[in-house]
Amino acid sequence: AGSLAKAPFFVGGDWRYADFGQSGDLDSSVSRQSVFTHVSFDVAENIVAFAEASYGQSAIYSKATNQFNLGNLTLQANNAFLPAPSAAALAAAGQTSFTAGSLNADLPPLTAQNSRNLQRYVVGADGSFNAGTVWKWKAYLQSTTTHIYDQALTTITSQYKAAINAVRNPNGTIVCSNGDPTCVPYNIFGTGVTSQAAINYVSGDSWLRQKLTQDVASASIQGEPFSIWAGPVSVATGVEHRRESITGSNDPLSNTNSYFAGNYHAAIGSYNVTEGFVETVIPLAANQVWAKALDLNAAVRATDYSTSGYVTTWKAGLTYSPIDDVTLRATRSRDIRAPNLNDLYAAGVAGTSTLLDPFHNNATTTVITITSGNLGLLPEKANTTEAGLIFKPRFIPGFTASVDYFDIEIAGAISALDAPTIVNGCFSGDTGYCGNIVRDAAGNISQVDVKSFNTSVQRVRGIDFEATYRKALDTIFSGLPGDLAVRMFATHYLQNYTNNGLIPSVDPQTVGENSEYSTNDTPKWKYLGSISYDHGPTMVTVTARGLSAGVYNNSYIQCTTGCPTSTNQHRTTDDNHIAGAFYLDTGLSYKITGAATVFLTVENLLNRNPPQVAPTQNVGNAPKGINQTLYDVIGREFRAGVRFQL
């Protein structure tokens, strides 16, 4: 043991034993296969019938951390595996039991296997007809079925607790204290001391089989019914009906959350939705002194969900070109995201988490979290504003640049409060949270129920930049072969704000936070640029990508001397900096024939490591650390293959 920092965490000691970073996968094993076919037949001069069939399957195998028990195990003082000095100390103190923790290094890591297979079938027809102007139409029926299998190799909690409570029989043999003849005693005091039979006894498979189905009927038509002073008016309209359902089954032990992890529960439910839409583009001006083009584009969609009712979405925008070189555009829209099958019908996905229990002096507690669906959810609603400029100068042929501002604000966003928020809310006096907390006979928290609600507000604002330039090199230097293409993309985030609507946000602005402590962390800048050289059968591309430096948390106060008192709202730290990243990727392709091309790509060519960051004391899947959605944690990767047509 090292020096105690905050129970049950120590500084020093045999830290390598407790290094969760050595057990989990950074990159899970994935296998994918797919096949697709499309057949069409000219029924008449302007009618084509078609059919499609596709099949795809994937399997993902991943390792997580070792099983962790952080001081939540109760053992008897006469445990047969207890070292003699510890047994003597307990006897001298008159103690008949004690609490213990273990990272169970003798157990295999928690592992998960997820497989999916999908079948999709479509029949339909499309065509055109003349009604004064040419109209195009399309109609189809689609049926999709997806089978899902999830499996977790974990431990059965009751059998694990029975096995670690081992005692000696009068004849000296070691048995489980519960008297179960099938129980195999398990020694948690040490590493490499547990038998394979004991590991097999405490281990189990939590599994889930689910079937998703989606049936769609859709029809649409588009054309130019009439013309006005600036040109023809375009109109598109259509209807669609969808039905989605989910059914499934799971192993019996998962129904009672008997595993350390997994505990899958099958969801059963369905909904249907009927939609109708109309979209139009109306030219307001063309080839005028003040406008080369001015177009209005608008759309409206009526949607009726069997679960959450009716909702209307719409879009209105203008595109204006004062001269051929410049185009201005602006759009305002109302958008929605309806709750999906999992949001509505999740039957209670169980997991294991740790939290500080404020009811027991912030003691670290391991609890089961149950995340379930909510049939009362409504669609999320967003207001989206976009405005931008496209610049395509005639005096620089081949060059195009654009800049676009975006502002997306979501009201009633679907989100779930985490277990610590629920417990702290109850402790603060909000009794609405307390019903989600389950306690054992001793009054300790054993389970926290987590549900999603339409309570969050989210807003993100930023600016997108893009520029491309393509040039034949012989137009620059006579006789120089090949074409050169340069592309650049960048996004500058101005705001990224989330508030769950119940607990005031301590850190309302997450732009510039590059840590993994929040799923909303966003760097101030993300960029990507590439240079490609194309000559005959050969193409070479070099890509640069990266992000700006950031901080752990914008509310932290960085200081070394004269620091104010650290609070939950504004913690003090001597280093609030997280470095940015810059990566180079390369690609090479060569066309062997007109129908076959071989290629080689190298990602993270310089093998740049992610920055080191300070982890938190959070133990669930693993201590939180580098943000893997922002930084490359794998290193240099090679891909080679061939693309061909038959």
pLDDT digits (tens, 9 = 90+) for 520-568: 778 999 999 999 999 989 999 999 999 999 998 888 999 999 999 988 7
Of 263 and 280, which is predicted with more confidence?
Answer: 280
Lowest pLDDT segment from 19-23, 252-256, 324-328, 450-454? 19-23
Residues 559-616: pLDDT tens digits?
999 999 988 778 899 999 999 999 999 999 999 988 899 999 999 999 999 998 887 6
Mean pLDDT of the chain: 90
Nearest to 156 by CA among 179, 174, 182, 175: 182
Answer for the pair 636, 605: CB distance below 8 angstroms, yes or no: yes
Distance of CA 137 to the CA centre of its chain: 37
Give the pLDDT of residue 508.
67
Given a cut of 50, whether residue 620 has pLDDT beyond it is no
Q: How many CA atoms lie within 13 A of 280 on its CB side?
A: 13
DSSP label at 360? G
Question: How many percent of the chain have pLDDT more than 70?
Answer: 93
Contact 153, 205 (CB under 8 A): yes
Q: Which of 224-233, 239-248, 346-355 has the lowest mean pLDDT?
A: 346-355
Residue positions counted in the chain: 646
Of residues 368 and 621, more confidently modeled: 368
pLDDT classification of 419: cutoffs 50, 70, 90 = confident
Say how many C-beta atoms besides its own lie within 10 A of residue 614's C-beta. 12
pTM of this prediction?
0.85
The answer, yes or no, to whether residue 622 has pLDDT greater than 90, is no
Three-class secondary structure of residue 258 per DSSP: coil
Q: What angle do CA 424, 426, 430 make, to 5 degrees?
A: 120
Q: Who wins on pLDDT, 196 or 429?
A: 196
| C-alpha–C-alpha distance, residues 232 and 281, integer Å | 9
Instruction: Give backbone dihedrals phi and psi of 201, rounded to 5 degrees, phi first.
Output: -65, -40
The yes-or-no verdict on residue 433 having pLDDT over 90 is no
Residues 6+ positions from 642 with CB-CB distance below 8 Å: 596, 597, 598, 599
Locate tokens 């607990």: which residue?
A: 503
Q: Is the confidence at residue 339, as pLDDT, over 70?
A: yes
Summarize the confidence of residues 313-335 as an average pLDDT: 97
Place of tokens 């951390």: 65
Residue 126 pLDDT > 70:
yes
Confidence (pLDDT) at 621: 43
**DSSP annotation string for 511-529:** BTB-BSS-TT-B-SEEEEE
Within a 10 A sphere around the Cβ of 493, how many other Cβ atoms? 19
> Binning pLDDT at 50, 70 and 90, where does residue 70 land?
confident
User: Which DSSP state fits 551?
Assistant: E
Task: Look at residue 487 and tell me whether its pLDDT is greater than 60.
Answer: yes
Confidence grade of residue 506 (pLDDT, cut at 50, 70, 90):
very low
Three-class secondary structure of residue 537 per DSSP: coil
Please give the Cα distance from 435 to 422 (Å, whole number). 10
Alpha-carbon dihedral 415, 416, 420, 422, rounded to 10 degrees: 110
